[in-house]
Amino acid sequence: MRALLLPWAEATLRAMPIFKIASCAAFASLALLSMGSIAQTSQSRALEDIAYQDCLSLVRRNPEEGFAQAQVWQSTGGGLAAAHCGALALVELKHYADAADRLELLLPLAEKQAPHLTVAILDQAANAWLLAEQPQRARQLLDIAVNAAPHQSDILIDRAIALAALDDHAAARADLARALSLEPTRADAYALRASARRQLNDPAGALEDAETALALEPRLPEALLERGILRLNIGDRKGARADLIQVRLIAPDSPAAVAAGRYIEEMDVKAD
User: pLDDT for 167-203, tens place per residue?
Assistant: 999 999 999 999 999 999 999 999 999 999 999 999 9
The answer on pLDDT for 24 being more than 70 is: no
The CA-to-CA distance between both ends of the chain, in Å, stands at 18
Contact by Cβ (8 Å): 4, 262: yes
Quote the CA–CA distance of 26 and 41 in Å, as a whole number.
20
Question: Model-level pTM?
Answer: 0.84
Q: Which of 171, 215, 210 is nearest to 189 (CA)?
A: 210
pLDDT tens track for 63-89: 999 999 999 999 998 888 899 999 999
Q: Which of 209, 215, 251 is nearest to 230 (CA)?
A: 209
CB proximity list for 177: less than 8 A, separation 6 or greater: 193
The answer on pLDDT for 28 being more than 80 is: no
